Structure 1
Amino acid sequence: MEPCISALITLIKQQDIAAVYELYENSKEPDNILQLKFIYQSAQQNPQVYGFYQDLCEQLAQRKALPTGLIAGINDSERFNFFTPSLKHNGGFSQKNAQGNTVLHVLFANPNNILPPFNYIRSLLLFESNEGLIQALQQRNQQQLTAIECYFAYNPHLSALPRHELSAILALIEAQAQLISQQSQVLAAICKRLKQCNNATKLDSQNHRVLLLATTYNLTTKEVLSLLSA
């Protein structure tokens, strides 16, 4: 066991939370990543202490920004839900890793996410003060893609979205449109990527991905399909 984890366990058992804060603040980023992973795993293993560990994580994030090396690991709904309170502090939502990705880029593009939590994210925007989350929607990564554009290009699941999730992503697209202008060359790159997808044959005029692209870039579905067949 890594010394940074054994020290953390000891302090938690001793209920010396002030010392936990001090340990975290004095640890380097690689150790902070290990400590946060341990806290998340401990929360998942025992629902009775989930709230305690989630609150502990949030307290740590208030004192020191979450390490950028953790961003790629917050890649599914369970992890995103756990870290949501922590991401509200120190610009966590809009923080970028070495590839220029925010947690939203990672979450939306992850091929293992059949259905990214669009509705949950919309609810955060509607009912909580999340300026950082709004900023995250307009962040472009090194490929010049926003998180929503990463979903368009890299999420391989092209089946129809449930109505509430479709409504949610449309709301996110509208929010993004108010923040940044869309770039035609990005749409071309997205279509080029989609043509390589194993499910590309599903991309017809009734497909949700095609409809969302048309909505986002103010085009007809016929124009989108033309780009996909070029």
Structure 2
Amino acid sequence: MDPSVSALISLIKQHNLPEISELYTRSNSSENIAQLKFMYQSAQQSPEVYSFYQDLCTKVSASKAMPIGVIAGINDPARFTFFTPALKQNNGFSQANEQGNTALHILFTNPHNSVPPFNYIRSLLLFESNEGLIQALKQRNNQQLTAIECYFAYNTHFDNLPAHELSALLALIEAQAQLLTQQETVLAAICKKLKASEHAHQLSEDNHRILLLASTYKVSVSAVCDLLE
């Protein structure tokens, strides 16, 4: 076990929260990754301790920005939900890896997430003060793609979305449209990527991905299909 995690466990047993924050602050990035990983894994063991470890993670993230290595690992709904309060600290939603990808980029493109948690994210925007999340929606990576555009291009699950997730994604698209101008060159690049998918044959005119692209870039469904030919 990493010595920094052993020290963390000892302080938790002592209920010494101030010292925990000090330990986290003086630890290096690799040690912080191990500490946060321990908190997440411990939280999954029992509902009774989930809030404790989530609050602890949030507290230490307020004193020091979350390591990029952890951001890269927030790639599924369970991890995103656990780390949401921590991501609100120190502009966590806008932190990006070397490819310019934020937690949203990573979450939306993970091939294991056939349906990203669009409804959960919309709920955060509706019911909580979340300026950082709003900024993350418009943040482009090194390929000049937003998180939603990465979902369009790289998520290869083309089955139609459940109604509540489709409605939520449309709301997120509308929110993004108010933040930045959509570019037709990006649409062409997304369609080029989609054409290379082994499941591209699923992209018929009534497929949600086609309808969402047409809605986002204010073009006809037939125009999107033409780009996919």
Distance 1:140 1:133 in 2: 13
Q: Secondary structure at the match of 2:86?
A: helix
Distance 1:153 1:92 in 2: 24
Distance 1:77 1:198 in 2: 25
Paired AA for residue 122 in structure 1? R
2:202 corresponds to 1:202 = yes
Partner deviation per Cα, 1:197-218 (whole Å, 9 max, x = no partner): 1210011100000000000000
Deviation at 1:85, TM superposition (A): 0.7
Paired AA for residue 96 in structure 1? A
Distance 1:122 1:182 in 2: 20
Paired AA for residue 2 in structure 1? D
Paired AA for residue 4 in structure 2? C
Q: Secondary structure at the match of 2:196?
A: coil
Distance 1:87 1:27 in 2: 19
Deviation at 1:15, TM superposition (A): 1.4
2:141 corresponds to 1:141 = yes
Give 1:81-230 correspondences, 5 Å limit.
81-229=81-229
Query: Which structure 1 residue ranges, 4+ long, deviate > 6 Å from structure 2?
Result: none
Paired AA for residue 81 in structure 1? T
Distance 2:3 2:46 in 1: 23
Of stretches 180-189 and 119-128 in structure 1, the one that deviates more from structure 2 is 180-189
Partner deviation per Cα, 1:176-214 (whole Å, 9 max, x = no partner): 011011122211111111111121001110000000000
Segments of structure 2 that go 5 or more residues without pairing to the other structure are none
Distance 1:127 1:48 in 2: 25
Distance 1:128 1:16 in 2: 30
Distance 2:164 2:68 in 1: 31
**TM-score, normalising length from structure 1?**
0.98
Distance 2:46 2:30 in 1: 25
Paired AA for residue 223 in structure 1? A
Counterpart position of 2:75: 75
Distance 1:142 1:136 in 2: 14
Paired AA for residue 191 in structure 2? C
Deviation at 1:11, TM superposition (A): 1.0
Paired AA for residue 13 in structure 1? K
Distance 1:183 1:101 in 2: 19
Distance 2:210 2:153 in 1: 11
Counterpart position of 1:64: 64
Partner deviation per Cα, 1:148-182 (whole Å, 9 max, x = no partner): 00000011110011111111000000000110111
Segments of structure 1 that go 5 or more residues without pairing to the other structure are none
Deviation at 1:17, TM superposition (A): 1.3
Of stretches 105-114 and 66-75 in structure 1, the one that deviates more from structure 2 is 66-75
Counterpart position of 1:52: 52
Distance 2:92 2:129 in 1: 14
CA RMSD of aligned residues (A): 0.8
Deviation at 1:114, TM superposition (A): 1.0
Paired AA for residue 159 in structure 1? D
